[in-house]
């Protein structure tokens, strides 16, 4: 399969050329296209409601006679409404099907990917460390939306691995090695069974209740569109290697 051929969108067909797709693939693709059409309208309506909630909260907080305690709570409502509007913008940027961008600004894409998981990471009290092992700009020859989707999947995989640990930590490191951009995601979970490494990249392979088992499959398929690689270098370390820009 050449990088220009579209990938199958269903889990069973990830990595197969479009000419090999079956009816189920096209039904699934049609569902995604429909979602893409309705999502902007839904997010627009939600954003309008958030603007009203946040705006009224800010106005009421300045009314005479409002106690300091109530004013602080109203300001908090305003702040959360602004925050949710920002998250909606990030979601739309992530879901939008733009023209392919041949270059990824790695630090920026890491920030955007982590923003999409920020609530879940905070709720699970996960500490995330980002370590840029480079003195200059870091860029990859990979579409930025692909890069962000890959990283979201890798972070989610790490979250699931460390769920329930007393001090869960995720480390993201990246740097350039010659003409290759290397990024690793490490966690302090129990890790995988090294003898079964390839099984973890197969569709529906999961050892965790409630997980679907598609994240690593999709991530590897996207990495391979530019001739890159995705593998475990240690039980709790997954490494992505793609061409550097």
pLDDT of the chain, 245 residues: tens digit per residue: 344 444 444 444 444 444 554 556 556 666 666 666 677 778 878 888 888 888 888 888 888 888 989 888 888 898 888 888 877 777 776 666 555 567 889 999 999 889 888 888 988 999 999 999 876 679 999 888 889 889 998 999 899 889 888 999 999 999 999 999 999 999 999 988 888 888 878 776 666 655 556 778 888 888 988 999 999 999 999 999 999 98
d(CA 168, CA 157): 13
pTM of the predicted model as reported, rounded to 2 decimal places: 0.64
Give, to the nearest 10 degrees, the angle between helix 144-162 and helix 68-95. 120
């Amino acid at each position: 399969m050449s990088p220009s051929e579209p990938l199958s969108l269903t889990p069973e067909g990830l990595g197969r050329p479009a000419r090999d797709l079956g009816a189920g693939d096209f039904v699934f693709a049609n569902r995604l296209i429909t979602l893409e059409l309705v999502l902007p309208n839904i997010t627009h309506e939600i954003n309008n409601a958030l603007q009203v909630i946040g705006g009224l909260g800010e106005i009421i907080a300045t009314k005479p006679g409002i106690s300091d305690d109530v004013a602080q709570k109203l300001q908090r409502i305003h702040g959360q409404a602004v925050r949710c509007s920002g998250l909606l913008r990030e979601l739309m940027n992530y879901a939008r099907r733009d023209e392919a961008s041949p270059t990824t600004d790695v630090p920026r894409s890491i920030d955007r990917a982590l923003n999409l998981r920020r609530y879940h990471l905070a709720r699970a009290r996960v500490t995330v460390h980002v370590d840029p092992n480079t003195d200059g700009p870091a860029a990859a020859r990979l579409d930025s939306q692909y890069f962000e989707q890959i990283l979201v999947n890798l972070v989610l995989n790490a979250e699931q691995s460390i769920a329930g640990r007393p001090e869960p930590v995720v480390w993201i490191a990246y740097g350039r090695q010659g003409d290759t951009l290397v990024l690793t995601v490490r966690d302090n979970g129990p890790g995988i069974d090294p003898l079964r490494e390839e099984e973890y990249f197969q569709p529906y392979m999961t050892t965790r209740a409630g997980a679907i088992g598609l994240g690593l499959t999709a991530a590897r398929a996207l990495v391979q569109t530019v001739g890159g690689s995705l593998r475990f270098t240690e039980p709790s370390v997954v490494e992505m290697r793609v061409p550097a820009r």
